[in-house]
Structures are given as C-alpha cells and as structure tokens.
Amino acid sequence: MKDDSSRQRSALAFEALALPGADVRYVANAWPRAEADALFAAFRAEIPWSTHRLNLFGREVESPRLSCWIGDPDAVYTYSGTRFEPLPWTPTVAALRDDLATRLGVRFNSVLANLYRDGRDSMGWHSDDEPELGARPVIASLSFGAERTFRLRSRATRKTVLSIELAHGGLLVMAGGTQRLYQHALPKRARVEAPRINLTFRRIGEIRDVPT
C-alpha cells in the first residue's frame, strides 16, 4: 500500500500563551517548510480571491486585502454588515479542513481566507464574536508566506497584551473566552514585499452557550 505521509504527522506541540480568561495556543511549524510552500502556491492559485466590501459605521469600504469565504452551503456568515454566502470547498482547502479534524479533533464547516498582498494590506481590530459562531468559538488560524505580527488587546483596556510573529506553516488556535475578552488585529508592516495567506477555520451554526 502506498504510504500517505499526510496521515502520519507528529502531534502538534502547542505553546499556550498567557492571556487571562482566554485560550490561545500557537505552534510555529504545524506544516513543514516544503509542505507549507506547496500549500501557499495551491491556495494562491485555487481560491477565487476578491476584495470584500464591508459596511463600517454606515460607510461602504473596500477591505485592505483579498478574501474568500468558503464553506458548507448552509454556513452563511454576516460580518461588518455584509452577508457572505460560502463558495464551495476547493480541493486543498478541503484537505486541510480534514487534516485539522484529525490533528485537532475539531470539525470546521467554513473558513475565511485572506490574502495580504504585501505589508500594506492589513486587518483592523475586531473579535470574531458573531452570534452564529457561538459564545466560545474555536477558531484555527493557519499562516503561510510572509511572516506578520498578530496582536491581541483587551476589550476592556484597549491595551495590546500580546504580539505573536505568525510564521510560514504556523497554526494559532483561539478558543474559550478569547473572542469575548480580547480583540485581535494584523497591522500593516513597512518593508514587507512578500504576500501572506491566512485561513481562519470556523464553525458556523453552533448552539449558543447559556449566557453567564
């Protein structure tokens, strides 16, 4: 029988980040370099990237990056005042979803893909706290390409509490109270010429936790 190396991966050696009330874990080398290179090239070619138009404070703006919402047909997502019907899974994104189900034990039904063309592209402060994600969502964020800084800040104090360099092939998992208590952002970074692709896998249609 042909050996399938993708099914014989090492366990993920997560580092838990110290953030009160939250659950944030990171592993820098979830995908080895050669595999991460191949995934980056596949995502770039396979995903139908477009500029999302978002509604910010009643004003329609173009997001400073390219994006694509992919998922099961019923995984409809509304954020920043815009409703996104999912595009069908591409082969590589579906394979990664299944890989995460095996290695993380979480079955995701949708993903927001973002392509930051260079250091001028960014994502502003937000929490992934849309009601359809549930009260304590598990979000798996995969990074490929240029290394960029990911920041977390407290929703109460607005002070940055953590900065992480997200590496090529890195996997960040946010769970528990992370979205309720913190915001995150991917700021612009001068002198970065290379692109970065980020995939944030989510579960839409969760039964909401009882509010506490």
Ligand X SMILES: O=C(O)CCC(=O)C(=O)O
Q: Kindly list the residues in this chain that would bind Fe ion in the complex (CB under 5 A).
A: 128
Output the smallest distance, CB 175 to Fe ion, in A. 13
For the chain, give the secondary structure using H, E and C. CCCCHHHCCCCCCCEEECCCCEEEEEECCCCCHHHHHHHHHHHHHHCCCECCEEEECCEEEECCCEEEEEECCCCCEEECCEEECCECCCHHHHHHHHHHHHHHCCCCCEEEEEEECCCCCCEEEECCCCHHHCCCCCEEEEEEECCEEEEEEECCCCCEEEEEEECCCEEEEEEECHHHHEEEEECCCCCCCCCEEEEEEECCCCCCCCCC
Any idea what the Cα angle at residue 87 is, between residues 183 and 72, rounded to 5°?
80
Residue nearest Fe ion, CB atom distance: 128
Contact residues for ligand X, defined by CB under 6 A: 112, 114, 123, 128, 141, 150, 166, 184, 186, 198, 200
Output the smallest distance, CB 143 to ligand X, in A. 6
Nearest residue (CB) to ligand X, 90 versus 179: 179
Output the smallest distance, CB 197 to ligand X, in A. 9
Nearest residue (CB) to ligand X, 43 versus 150: 150
Output the smallest distance, CB 139 to Fe ion, in A. 7
Output the smallest distance, CB 150 to ligand X, in A. 5
Judged by beta carbon distances under 5 to 8 A according to partner kind, the member of Fe ion, ligand X, none in contact with residue 114 is ligand X
Nearest residue (CB) to Fe ion, 99 versus 128: 128
Cβ contacts of residue 87 below 8 Å, gap of 6+? 48, 68, 69, 70, 71
Residue nearest ligand X, CB atom distance: 198
Nearest residue (CB) to ligand X, 90 versus 200: 200
Judged by beta carbon distances under 5 to 8 A according to partner kind, the member of ligand X, Fe ion, none in contact with residue 112 is ligand X
Nearest residue (CB) to Fe ion, 118 versus 128: 128
Judged by beta carbon distances under 5 to 8 A according to partner kind, the member of ligand X, Fe ion, none in contact with residue 140 is none
